[in-house]
């Protein structure tokens, strides 16, 4: 095999990184957050969820070699291509179109051709990083003779998506299929993914950190991780902290999806309803008190209406992710200033 030319993506930088002052390059929170946020949030912030790198090449094949921090490559119901894989799309005139996933990940040190057999035409690509397994290093390889040009992260203000394991990507089948990334492609806009599995709980420290980000839109999608008491205690304050620092940035409050079998589990459905009621009351209160540019999305149909969006009733498959993206799109399209 010909010796490939390798390019380390850290050399020109990834998109979807909120802070530069991180302890490790692919962390999602700044080093100073370590002393501030709950330990679980800190640990979960170390996966490069939602990050992506842009480049241009006329290569007929694109390879990658990547090193991951953990031996665990997937979970029993969370596929390797999403958990530890790379995911490649190309810009086709007016939209991002899927090319291939680096899906054959079996060990934390891994190399594979992502795609081969293309016409050698100059194209712009975006490569998504693994959703869960923290990244040590990623290099892109092209055959000798091919041109390769790095593209720095885009300048548009990012959509900031703060949430739970769902935003963190479980159980996307490939890295680009988390709904925040689907929406980023459809809106052609950078996204910062702040999903913290099991720990999207709207602590005020997170509000203060997130308020540092000059976002195009804030999407707050934490309800699956919060109880009614936490909703009552935290949501208003969280929004007020954001609003104080960012007077005009649209803030979208998303209800939790009902578990796809809550229709047959009365106690669970009642739980959802109590949370929705408490959450909506806070939304109404904030609106009445004069908070502008605040939006509310009902959760009922986030995974669709046929109850087929999840294997464990809680975490979406690609079908559930696609449906969340479709439900969120019209509002985010309206709020996205480029539009």
Residue from the set 79, 158, 163, 200 that interacts with a second copy by CB under 8 A: 79
- Contact criterion met (CB below 8 Å) for 231 and 171: no
Q: Please compute, for residue 55, the number of CA atoms within 13 A of its CA located in the half-sphere on the CB side.
A: 27
**Which residues, 6+ apart, have CB-to-CB distance to 201 below 8 Å?**
38, 222, 225, 226, 230, 234
76 counts as binding a second copy under rule CB under 8 A: yes
The one-character DSSP state at 78 is: B
6 counts as binding a second copy under rule CB under 8 A: no
Distances (CA, A) of 20 to 16, 45, 116, 120, 147: 11, 14, 34, 35, 29
Could you tell me the smallest distance in angstroms from the CB atom of residue 318 to a second copy? Answer: 4
Burial 72-89 (b: 16+ CB within 10 A, else e): ebbeeebbbbbbbbbbbb
Could you tell me the smallest distance in angstroms from the CB atom of residue 218 to a second copy? Answer: 26
Specify the residue, 128 or 238, whose C-beta has the smaller distance to a second copy: 128
319 counts as binding a second copy under rule CB under 8 A: yes
177 counts as binding a second copy under rule CB under 8 A: yes
101 counts as binding a second copy under rule CB under 8 A: yes
Could you tell me the smallest distance in angstroms from the CB atom of residue 266 to a second copy? Answer: 6
Residue from the set 296, 311, 329, 331 that interacts with a second copy by CB under 8 A: 311
Say which residue the tokens 């490569």 belong to: 127
Residue from the set 307, 326, 329, 331 that interacts with a second copy by CB under 8 A: 307
2 counts as binding a second copy under rule CB under 8 A: no
Residue from the set 32, 97, 337, 338 that interacts with a second copy by CB under 8 A: 97
264 counts as binding a second copy under rule CB under 8 A: yes
Residue from the set 67, 240, 265, 300 that interacts with a second copy by CB under 8 A: 265
164 counts as binding a second copy under rule CB under 8 A: no
Could you tell me the smallest distance in angstroms from the CB atom of residue 58 to a second copy? Answer: 13
The two three-digit tokens of residue 37, written as one number: 């946020």
Residue from the set 90, 197, 249, 324 that interacts with a second copy by CB under 8 A: 90
SS3 (DSSP) at 75: strand
Number of DSSP helices (H) and strands (E) in the chain, helices first: 7, 14
CA dihedral 212, 199, 239, 258 (to 10 degrees): 140
85 counts as binding a second copy under rule CB under 8 A: yes
Element (H, E) at 11: none
CA distance linking residue 28 with residue 41, whole number of Å:
10
CA distance linking residue 151 with residue 306, whole number of Å:
41
Window 105-124: contact mask with a second copy (x via CB under 8 A): xx--------xxxxx-----
Site of interaction with a second copy (CB under 8 A): 73-74, 76-82, 85, 90, 97-101, 103-106, 115-119, 171, 173-174, 177, 182, 260-261, 263-268, 306-313, 317-319, 322
């Amino acid at each position: 095999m010909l010796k490939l030319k390798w390019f380390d993506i850290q050399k020109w930088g990834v998109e979807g990184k909120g802070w530069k002052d991180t302890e490790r390059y692919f962390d999602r929170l700044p080093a100073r957050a370590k002393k501030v946020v709950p330990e679980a949030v800190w640990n979960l912030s170390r996966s490069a969820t939602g990050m992506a790198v842009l480049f241009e090449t006329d290569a007929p094949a694109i390879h990658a070699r990547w090193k991951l921090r953990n031996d665990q490559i997937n979970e029993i119901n969370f596929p390797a291509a999403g958990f530890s894989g790379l995911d490649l799309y190309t810009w086709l005139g007016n939209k991002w179109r899927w090319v291939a996933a680096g899906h054959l990940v079996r060990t934390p040190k891994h190399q594979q051709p992502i795609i081969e057999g293309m016409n050698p035409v100059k194209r712009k690509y975006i490569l998504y990083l693994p959703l869960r397994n923290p990244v040590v290093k990623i290099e892109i390889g092209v055959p000798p003779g091919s041109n390769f040009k790095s593209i720095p992260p885009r300048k548009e203000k990012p959509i900031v998506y703060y949430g739970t394991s769902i935003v963190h990507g479980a159980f996307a089948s490939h890295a680009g299929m988390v709904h925040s990334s689907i929406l980023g492609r459809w809106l052609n806009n950078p996204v910062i993914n702040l999903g913290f599995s099991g720990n999207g709980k709207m602590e005020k420290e997170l509000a203060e950190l997130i308020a540092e980000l000059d976002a195009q839109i804030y999407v707050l999608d934490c309800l699956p991780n919060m109880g009614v008491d936490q909703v009552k205690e935290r949501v208003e304050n969280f929004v007020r902290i954001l609003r104080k620092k960012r007077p005009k940035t649209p803030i979208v409050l998303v209800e939790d999806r009902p578990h796809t079998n809550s229709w047959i589990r009365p106690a669970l459905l009642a739980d959802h309803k109590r949370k929705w009621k408490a959450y909506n009351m806070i939304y109404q209160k904030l609106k009445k008190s004069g908070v502008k540019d605040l939006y509310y999305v009902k959760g009922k149909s986030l995974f669709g209406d046929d109850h087929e969006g999840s294997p464990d009733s809680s975490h979406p498959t690609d079908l559930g992710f696609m449906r969340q993206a479709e439900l969120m799109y019209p509002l985010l399209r309206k709020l996205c200033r480029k539009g």
